[in-house]
Structure formats: structure tokens, C-alpha cells
Structure 1
Amino acid sequence: MSTFLDKLAVRRNRIEDQRQQLQAAEDFVWVWADVVDPSSHEYGAELGCAETNRLAHLFRVFHFWNTANQLQDEHQRGPNCNAAELHPPVTGECA
């Protein structure tokens, strides 16, 4: 019985960790999208292709289509895009 309870406790801890991670990701998206804006170069951020793709994907998961699209467009036109990684086509709603 204690093995079952131990496994249950581990699962609960993992679920809580995932909940906290998701909340942190959502908080980050809201802060960046609403306060900072996607103009990353204005704040000294120099994102490579992989980082841009990951960040744009995070915005798209939370339906911040315009922020994701602007971030990707800015990156592809900027000096940090060396085509080290292909950028996915822009998809989804543009509200």
C-alpha cells in the first residue's frame, strides 16, 4: 500500500510542477506580449533562429498570433537570422 501512496505522491508532485511551469509560461507570454512588445532588439535581446522559433511557438500556443508573427518577421529581416534553422510558416489567426 505504501508503494502505491509513494507513486501517487510522485505523480501529484509532477502534476504540480507542470501546473507551475504552465503558469510561468503563461505569465511570461502576457508580460512580453503586453508590456515589452515583440521588438526584442530595442531591449537588447539578440535571438537566434532556434530561440525565435521557440518563443514564437510559445506565443502561438497561447494564441498571441500577432506577437508571434511580428517576432518572427522582425527576426527574419534582422541581422541575427543566419538561416541556421528554418522558420515555420506563419499560421493561425491574426487578430
Structure 2
Amino acid sequence: MKIIYKKAAIDDLLNTENYIINQFHNDQAAKKLKNNIVDTISLLKDNPYLGPKMSDRFDIDTPFRYLIVSKQLVFYNVNEENIEIIRILDSRQDYLSLLF
């Protein structure tokens, strides 16, 4: 299966990286978190159902699954051909309102 990043997910990843750089002046920590997120997402190639279904945790009818990486939540969808990375959001945000 191929992993595809939606534009919003790419923007989320870059915004997270820039936030850490600008707020904490720590390029190394920003790069480490970004690499950790991307490395964890790459695990989906071999196991696309690694993350739990959102519908199992929330009363929401959605096919989305999620992974937890540090304080980031990676929301994704598995279809017949691809794994689509939908968003990468901080768990301290109101991520449900950002997703839906």
C-alpha cells in the first residue's frame, strides 16, 4: 500500500515543526519530532490497521483511524489502494472540531 499525505497533514507537520523552532528555539527537537512522526507513519505500510478506529472511541461514524506519536495524533484512512494521512494534530487541541 502507498502512503499519501493530504495537504492539511503536510501543513500540520510543518506548522508543528515551525512552532517548536519559534517557541523553543530548538531546531534539533523539532526535527526529531518530525522524524519520529514520519517514521511511525511509515509503519503503516506493513500494518495499515495498526491504529485503532476512531469510531471505537468516539460516537462518530467515520472510517478514520489514529496513531499517537508523542503528543501528536495522526489521523488516517485506509482504502483499497492507499493509506491517506488526513491530519496530524496536537492532542491538546480540540481535534474533533478540526477534523469534522
TM-score w.r.t. the length of structure 2 is 0.34
Higher strand fraction (1 or 2): 2
Q: Which has the higher contact order (CA 8 A, sep 6+)?
A: 2
Higher helix share: 1
Larger radius of gyration: 1
